[in-house]
Amino acid sequence: MTLRSSVTAADAAHVWHPYTQHGASDDPIEIVRADGAYLFDASGRAIFDAISSWWVTLHGHAEPTIAAAIADQARTLEQVIFAGFTHEPAALLAEELLRRVPNGLTRMFFSDDGSTAVEVAVKIALQYWQLRGENRRVIVALENAYHGDTFGAMSVSARGLFTDPFAEKLFEVARLPDPVDADVVAAFERLLAARASDVAALIVEPMVLGSGGMRMWSAESMRGLRELCARHGILFIADEVMTGFGRTGPLFACEHAGISPDLMCLSKGITGGFLPMGATLTTEELFAGFRSPDRKRTLFHGHSYTANPIACAAARASLALLDEACDARRRAIETSHRAAATRFESTPGISNVRVLGTILAADLVVKDAGYLSTIGQTLKRVALDAGVLLRPLGDTVYLLPPYCATTADLDRAYDCIAEFAEAL
């Protein structure tokens, strides 16, 4: 046990951390600054952030143009109520972002994080059908899905360890099998044969089930699900909270399948990873379904910090950085990942290697698989000692680096994983 600083002592006395069992964890590491792909701890050690600090840091930590946009905005207009008022950062962000998403999405509803972006999508879907006078009340979601930690988001997420304490408080959804294991399109067809006119919406994480273990599924299945939704008038919700802003290669994962959703949820990388913000994008048809002289037909949802100007300024600056040079950086990461995947395929102790854009994932070969598998914890510790931040999902190890990561940075992380797996 190392001596606690005033920060770690105050933390130990007063802070309750997310996804942390305080009875079975080491003290958290005190980070004092960050730059590019690196975090620096109180002792000056550099740690390569191979997971973009929980999938949010997009271009790099402390990216100067985003930092400057935030500082400028904070001195100009830091916050204003967003009902009855608007401002340049929000209106222009909506215009600039909607220009770059799949066709057909024309409206942006602002919220605070990924979970609220999902809550809003589900509320819009349910209220839309109610306003139309159609009795569509069923939400369909995938096995192994993760859509956030608030009650609605938990309801559409896979049931299990995270949701068990609240099981009877969650609303029921119709469940499709994990598209990696089963023919999800055929399963959806079977479900629709029985109750198509009851279904309000289908929600999916396009191309990758993230928290469910970086499970990558096919563009073909995505297209199949999209077509079935279109045929039966069901709303297709794409939760791109993790995949958005280039993580899977193209700007949005829906582009792999050439599809446009009716609703899209965004967060995580939206501000470049600087400030919290959620967004739910919708079609004009959905927006028009609520528009009326009748106040009862309002979407009664909003958060205190809706469209916070500073967060909007950060998002605009981040969007401006998603240019051709950034495309090239993402392609370089993918090339690097593919070479590592070839190496991992012949590394003992590693199986099921997969790459999509800037995401590389693989499974460690262990007996006690699952989220509570201790192997991931061990790897995390070993990697930290080597100056690399990994956070395996049970026995699934993955890299999801900021786009400024260099080949040398990535090589360090690959080496860490390979050496660990070989020693298993």
Ligand X SMILES: *Cc1c(COP(=O)(O)O)cnc(C)c1O
Q: Among the options 38, 113, 268, 395, which is catalytic?
A: 268
Q: Among the options 178, 239, 262, 363, which is catalytic?
A: 239
Q: Residue 210 or 261: which CB sits closer to ligand X?
A: 210
Question: For 268, which DSSP code?
Answer: G
19 is catalytic: yes
Maximum C-alpha span of the chain: 68
Check residue 261 for interaction with ligand X (CB under 6 A).
no
3-state helix, strand, coil in the chain (%, to 5): 40, 20, 40
Check residue 205 for interaction with ligand X (CB under 6 A).
yes
Cα–Cα nearest to 237, from 262, 208, 207, 273: 262
Q: Residue 73 or 111: which CB sits closer to ligand X?
A: 111
35 is catalytic: no
Of the candidate residues 97, 241, 254, 322, the single one contacting ligand X (CB under 6 A): 241
Check residue 113 for interaction with ligand X (CB under 6 A).
yes
Q: Residue 315 or 421: which CB sits closer to ligand X?
A: 315
Q: How far is the CB of 118 from ligand X (least distance, A)?
A: 6
367 is catalytic: no
Binding segment toward ligand X, per CB under 6 A, in 22-30, 205-213, 377-385, 410-418: 205-213
Count the residues in the chain: 424
Decide: 329 and 358 in contact? Cβ < 8 Å.
Answer: no
Q: Decide: residue 341, CB within 10 A, 0-12 exposed, 13-18 middle, 19+ buried.
A: middle
Binding segment toward ligand X, per CB under 6 A, in 171-179, 204-212, 280-288, 314-322: 204-212
Contacts (CB under 6 A) with ligand X, residues 59-78:
none
Can you tell me the distance from the alpha carbon of 30 to that of 41, in angstroms, rounded to the nearest whole number? Answer: 6
Question: Residues 301-314, buried b or exposed e (16+ Cβ, 10 A)?
Answer: eeeebbbbbbbbbb
Check residue 405 for interaction with ligand X (CB under 6 A).
no
Q: Residue 307 or 418: which CB sits closer to ligand X?
A: 307
Q: Residue 127 or 248: which CB sits closer to ligand X?
A: 248
- How many residues bind to ligand X according to rule CB under 6 A? 14
Check residue 254 for interaction with ligand X (CB under 6 A).
no
Q: How far is the CB of 154 from ligand X (least distance, A)?
A: 10
Check residue 147 for interaction with ligand X (CB under 6 A).
yes
Of the candidate residues 115, 248, 280, 373, the single one contacting ligand X (CB under 6 A): 115
Check residue 252 for interaction with ligand X (CB under 6 A).
no
Q: Decide: residue 267, CB within 10 A, 0-12 exposed, 13-18 middle, 19+ buried.
A: buried
- H helices present in 32-180, as ranges: 52-55, 64-76, 88-98, 114-132, 151-156
169 is catalytic: no
Tokens representing 206 are 């396009």
Can you tell me the distance from the alpha carbon of 202 to that of 239, in angstroms, rounded to the nearest whole number? Answer: 10
Cα–Cα nearest to 238, from 46, 373, 424, 103: 103
Q: Residue 153 or 390: which CB sits closer to ligand X?
A: 153
Binding segment toward ligand X, per CB under 6 A, in 227-235, 238-246, 395-403, 415-423: 238-246
Q: Among the options 146, 398, 403, 414, which is catalytic?
A: 146
Binding segment toward ligand X, per CB under 6 A, in 133-141, 192-200, 237-245, 366-374: 237-245
Q: Which residues, 6+ apart, have CB-to-CB distance to 126 below 8 Å?
A: 137, 139, 200, 201
Can you tell me the distance from the alpha carbon of 71 to that of 64, in angstroms, rounded to the nearest whole number? Answer: 10
Check residue 119 for interaction with ligand X (CB under 6 A).
no
Q: What is the secondary structure of 350-379 as a DSSP string?
A: EEEEEEETTEEEEEE--SS-STT-HHHHHH
Q: How far is the CB of 158 from ligand X (least distance, A)?
A: 12
Contacts (CB under 6 A) with ligand X, residues 340-369:
none
Which residues here bind ligand X, judged by CB under 6 A? 113-115, 118, 146-148, 205, 210-211, 239, 241-242, 267
* Catalytic positions, written as ranges: 19, 146, 239, 268
